[in-house]
Structure 1
Amino acid sequence: MTDWITTPVEPRLLRGALDVERTAHGILPHRLPAWARKQFPDPYLAMVEAQPSGVRLALRTRATAIELDVLPTKTVYQGAPVPPDGVYDLVVDGKLTGRASVPGGNTHTIDMATWSAVTRPGPMGTARFAALPAGEKDVEIWLPQTEITELIALRTDAPVATAPRHGRRVWLHHGSSISHGSTAESPTATWPALAAARGGVELINLGFGGNALLDPFTARAMRDTPADLISLKVGINLANADLMRLRGFSPAVHGFLDTLREGHPTTPLLVVSPVLCPIQEDTPGPVAPDFDAPKLRFRALSDPSDRTSGRLTLTLIRDELSRIITQRSADDPNLHYLDGRSLYGEPDFAELPLPDQLHPDPAGHRRIGERFADWAFGDDGPFAVSGG
């Protein structure tokens, strides 16, 4: 019988969260601070920012067995297949060593026709890991990127301490659902997590499904977050939601960058335009689920010829982002631009098509993560150790 040691789950053990909320059960990691959460009326953003993409427990321990009690909240889209339980990735000294899932928990059901939602309560569960390597080691438990996860109790068969950071640089990234990892196979298999591991940096992932809409509160949260490297992947959802016209988009990009530079005046800052998405390349938004399709797919609702009055397409967004960054970088040598199609473009779509017309599959995440890391963290990249 294991002699368990219970360690309170405290914020000091967490990486990748900007805030922690005390709940009736334990603690709930957040990826936006409390003051920012008061400034948006969107319940979908409230859901996705509480999904802990990139958030992990970071421990230094001799333990060979770990149990983590959690209360997950799982999202189900009405009419779509029920997704599998989320994955908890165990990383020991930088290597993926184990995976676990937790059945049960709350169920948050969204009607995609009306975007109304109902939450049904459920029981807590336990993620269990056994047969860890003996000896002192760094252990990370990465939380499921698409399940809100309340952390209740941590049990181990040896004492735990906060893991050291080993001098690694902090990379702060903001993007939409692809950055969030909504279709990745596990939390360490999102493209930002893959790129961070390849680049040897500590990730803070502010990828929010359905968002990255140049919200001022996100810019201020990033401005106030210590970071050595910053990236912003923006554009797809501005078109998908038909949220802006060109007249509003350009000043909003400038304003977001101005806010970031208030807190990070010389930090290497990379702006990435959208990856290839054929249904939105030259067709304005909005997009919506195609309820006539046999499986979840999205389609553009507008006509490709309707590009009047500055309606945004991905082609227009890329052109404008490139223009803005070229203009600003004349006075800001640490500001850089990357065309997202160099991460996933037409040849990649032919080989690894987007299953739902919007999001890459797990192989697509790996390709994007590897290409980003090789470009950004390479010897001549903006995130190179000697770069910036």
Structure 2
Amino acid sequence: MITTPLTTELVRGALELEPTERGLVPHRLTARARAQNTDPRLAMAEAQPAGVRLRFRTTAGVIELETLPTKVVYPGAPPRPDGVYDLLVDGKLAAQASTSGGDTVTVDLATGAGTHTSGPTGVVRFDGLPEHLKDVELWLPHNEITSLVALRTDAPVSPAPAPDRVWLHHGSSISHGSNAASPSTTWPALAAASAGVELINLGFSGNALLDPFTARALRDTPADLISVKLGINVVNADLMRLRAFGPAVHGFLDTIREGHPSAPLLVVSPLYCPIHERTPGPGDFDHSALAAGVVRFRATGEPGPGKLTLEVIREELARIVAQRQDPDLHHLDGLALYGPAEYAEFPLPDDLHPDPAAHRHIGARFAELAFGGPFA
């Protein structure tokens, strides 16, 4: 078996690879941004490699990837399944695998703080692959921190060519991939595959919160096409009122435009979510359901002047995009991706996140409306 060094030529979709004593950690925020963050939930989310994959060309029939996964335990909640690795050969899903072992973080649901326990590395192995020259993509688990230890194959590997255009996307847990079946079947991954573009996914579970350091990360990342899906986390975090939201969105877009003055920039408003359509945050777990072993969310806020709901945010985002009069800035109503009709067909299993079938629908709709529209 040949061991190939893991470099940015092979590891795609990460903004940085951090060397540690136990492997390379793919990060989706830069070190500068991470230094300015104080939220443990965001620290965990940006280190979960949503959209990160190894891409290479090889004749190998056997591929092994040694990793150090970090499993997350939420006391009182059902155990989370092991992360899934998707192996694509010439663009088609060829195999899937998971690995046991790894470190464990036990998270306090109230504070987000975690207790860390060390464990051994694990190996995912794919064999019996066709031994002709092929392009391989090995997608890392989108919801599990994964340190890369070693790539081993029974034939040499070289970097595979990249698509011509880079799509940079930022959003919430839905963009991160919550409740998707696997890393290559999150809605952004499916839309990118349909459009034939290179994906950089900066979807952060619970943390699409208009942070200036996230805007700077978007500004400083080379890209041809950019989209930002905003709103749901601002509501369920009960982070701000309407007076602060509008200027924060303007500032976020201004920062992106400093690095991408004329790239197509698409602002996507929230998908349909009945618990927050007219009820403000904060959001919380449904603790009675949790006691029965079921994860479900609820909205706990009370309507009031300036309080944000999804209906308010959709109206405000449409107004902001129109006001800016930027010919390369576009608006996409999230209800066109997933609205009441889709909710009737694909209900949200936890009242907040779409299921695998809904991810496929959203990915197809985004490919149609964005890549067939302003991104064409």
- Confirm whether residue 382 of structure 1 aligns to residue 363 of structure 2: no
Question: Any idea what the Cα deviations from partners look like across 1:36-77, whole Å, max 9, x if unmatched?
Answer: 100010011000000000000111111111000000001122
- Confirm whether residue 259 of structure 1 aligns to residue 279 of structure 2: no
Does the residue aligned with 1:12 lie in a helix, a strand or coil?
coil
Could you say which residue in structure 1 is the equivalent of 2:6?
9
Q: What are structure 2's unaligned runs of at least 5 residues? A: none
- Confirm whether residue 91 of structure 1 aligns to residue 85 of structure 2: no
- Match for 2:330 among 336, 347, 370? 336
Could you say which residue in structure 2 is the equivalent of 1:297?
296
Could you tell me how far 1:10 is from its partner in structure 2? 2.1
Could you tell me how far 1:12 is from its partner in structure 2? 2.2
Does the residue aligned with 1:356 lie in a helix, a strand or coil?
coil
Give the residue type in structure 2 aligned to 1:364.
Answer: A
- Confirm whether residue 33 of structure 1 aligns to residue 30 of structure 2: yes
Give the count of matched residue pairs.
373
Distance, in Å, in 1 between the alignment partners of 2:105 and 2:358 is 27
Does the residue aligned with 1:60 lie in a helix, a strand or coil?
strand
Does the residue aligned with 1:57 lie in a helix, a strand or coil?
strand
Does the 8 Å CA contact 1:185/1:362 hold for their aligned counterparts?
A: yes
Could you say which residue in structure 2 is the equivalent of 1:238?
234
Report the TM-score when normalising by structure 1: 0.95
Distance, in Å, in 2 between the alignment partners of 1:185 and 1:205 is 17
Could you say which residue in structure 2 is the equivalent of 1:198?
194
Could you say which residue in structure 1 is the equivalent of 2:128?
131
Could you say which residue in structure 1 is the equivalent of 2:208?
212
Give the residue type in structure 1 aligned to 2:84.
Answer: V
Could you tell me how far 1:251 is from its partner in structure 2? 0.4
Question: Any idea what the Cα deviations from partners look like across 1:339-373, whole Å, max 9, x if unmatched?
Answer: 10111111111121111111011111111111111
- Confirm whether residue 71 of structure 1 aligns to residue 68 of structure 2: yes
Could you say which residue in structure 2 is the equivalent of 1:156?
153
- Match for 1:373 among 342, 364, 367? 367
Listed as ranges, the matches of 1:298-317 within 5 Å are 298-303=297-302, 306-308=303-305, 310-317=306-313
Does the 8 Å CA contact 2:23/2:68 hold for their aligned counterparts?
A: no
Give the residue type in structure 2 aligned to 1:265.
Answer: P
Could you tell me how far 1:230 is from its partner in structure 2? 0.2
Could you tell me how far 1:168 is from its partner in structure 2? 2.3
Distance, in Å, in 2 between the alignment partners of 1:319 and 1:11 is 40
Could you tell me how far 1:11 is from its partner in structure 2? 2.5
Does the residue aligned with 1:292 lie in a helix, a strand or coil?
helix
Please say which of residues 206-215 and 349-358 is displaced more in the overlay: 349-358
Could you say which residue in structure 2 is the equivalent of 1:105?
102
Could you say which residue in structure 2 is the equivalent of 1:142?
139
Distance, in Å, in 2 between the alignment partners of 1:302 and 1:34 is 35
- Confirm whether residue 326 of structure 1 aligns to residue 318 of structure 2: no
- Confirm whether residue 364 of structure 1 aligns to residue 364 of structure 2: no
Could you tell me how far 1:236 is from its partner in structure 2? 0.2
Distance, in Å, in 2 between the alignment partners of 1:113 and 1:46 is 16
Distance, in Å, in 2 between the alignment partners of 1:174 and 1:319 is 20
Does the 8 Å CA contact 1:15/1:58 hold for their aligned counterparts?
A: yes
Could you tell me how far 1:114 is from its partner in structure 2? 3.7
Give the residue type in structure 2 aligned to 1:373.
Answer: A
Give the residue type in structure 2 aligned to 1:236.
Answer: I
Give the residue type in structure 2 aligned to 1:382.
Answer: P
Does the 8 Å CA contact 1:241/1:286 hold for their aligned counterparts?
A: yes
Distance, in Å, in 2 between the alignment partners of 1:279 and 1:182 is 17
- Match for 2:54 among 46, 52, 57? 57
Could you say which residue in structure 2 is the equivalent of 1:81?
78
Give the residue type in structure 2 aligned to 1:298.
Answer: F
- Match for 2:114 among 106, 112, 117? 117
Does the residue aligned with 1:53 lie in a helix, a strand or coil?
coil
Does the 8 Å CA contact 1:283/1:307 hold for their aligned counterparts?
A: no
Does the 8 Å CA contact 2:178/2:354 hold for their aligned counterparts?
A: no
- Match for 1:280 among 273, 276, 283? 276
Please say which of residues 338-347 and 127-136 is displaced more in the overlay: 127-136
Report the TM-score when normalising by structure 2: 0.98
Give the residue type in structure 2 aligned to 1:103.
Answer: S
Distance, in Å, in 2 between the alignment partners of 1:168 and 1:100 is 29
* Identity in percent: 66
Superposed structure 1 runs of 4+ greater than 4 Å apart: none
Distance, in Å, in 2 between the alignment partners of 1:168 and 1:186 is 25
RMSD: 0.9
Please say which of residues 8-17 and 258-267 is displaced more in the overlay: 8-17
Question: Any idea what the Cα deviations from partners look like across 1:118-149, whole Å, max 9, x if unmatched?
Answer: 12211110011112122111111000001100
